[in-house]
């Protein structure tokens, strides 16, 4: 695991954002007179760009997707982003990686503005050199593009970069950029979804993720 630069997805990888995201989507749908009382059915919204999800799951037009994203932001920007929980063991993992002199980045489809506030709110900002995300209008939210931005704007060597995430978008993004990936099963992607994308590694828990980065596997 000799990788100096480690990229982390945010939702479903560093934190469990279910309540904030699903209730934000629930609120947006209600503005279209769509009632969804079961938040579990909205879990597929965790991970991919919102515009994709509103179109894919509710057949929204491009215009309605933009309206829905605006409604979602009304809820999420006010309270939803903090209806969120850091997965147990994540701070310890991040501290271990920093102690190994690795450089950490957040690479998320979430707007950069929200992602920065979230990691600061939970005290995770001390571990990361920079946060890379999308724009508030949902542009620039493709994970392949985001990973590419991290590599090029931070002048990283692809052979020394690893991406960690819980959804197929993270693994596909890593593959498209020619970097190593770790798929984590404790988030919101199923094992089948993750394996279909052929990650370099797949782990079930935060503890097993930590185990991959042993003291013998220090960054270069």
* Sequence-distant (≥ 6) Cβ neighbours of residue 125 within 8 angstroms: 116, 119
- Alpha carbon distance 98, 6 (integer Å): 10
- Report yes or no: 163 and 182 within 8 Å, Cβ to Cβ: yes
Radius of gyration of the chain (CA): 17
3-state secondary structure of 206: helix
- Alpha carbon distance 209, 124 (integer Å): 18
Q: Give kind and range of the element (H or E) at residue 109.
A: strand 103-111
Q: What is the dihedral of CA 9, 13, 14, 17, to 10 degrees?
A: 100
Mind telling me the catalytic residues? 9
């Amino acid at each position: 695991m000799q990788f100096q630069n480690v990229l982390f997805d945010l939702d479903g990888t560093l934190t469990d954002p279910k309540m904030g995201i699903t209730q934000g989507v629930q609120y947006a749908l209600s503005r279209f007179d769509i009632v969804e009382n079961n938040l579990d059915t909205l879990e597929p919204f965790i991970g991919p760009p919102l515009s994709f999800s509103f179109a894919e799951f509710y057949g929204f037009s491009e215009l309605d997707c933009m309206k829905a994203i605006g409604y979602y932001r009304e809820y999420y920007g006010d309270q939803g982003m903090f209806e969120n929980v850091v997965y147990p063991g994540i701070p310890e993992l991040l501290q271990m990686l920093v102690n190994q002199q690795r450089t950490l980045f957040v690479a998320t489809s979430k707007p950069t503005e929200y992602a920065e506030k979230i990691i600061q709110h939970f005290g995770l900002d001390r571990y990361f050199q920079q946060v890379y995300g999308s724009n508030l209008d949902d542009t620039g939210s493709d994970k392949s593009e985001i990973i590419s931005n991290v590599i090029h704007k931070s002048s990283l060597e692809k052979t020394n970069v690893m991406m960690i995430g819980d959804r197929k978008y993270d693994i596909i993004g890593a593959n498209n950029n020619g970097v190593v990936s770790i798929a984590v099963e404790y988030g919101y992607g199923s094992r089948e979804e993750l394996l279909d994308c052929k990650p370099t590694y797949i782990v079930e828990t935060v503890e097993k993720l930590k185990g991959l980065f042993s003291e013998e596997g220090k960054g270069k």
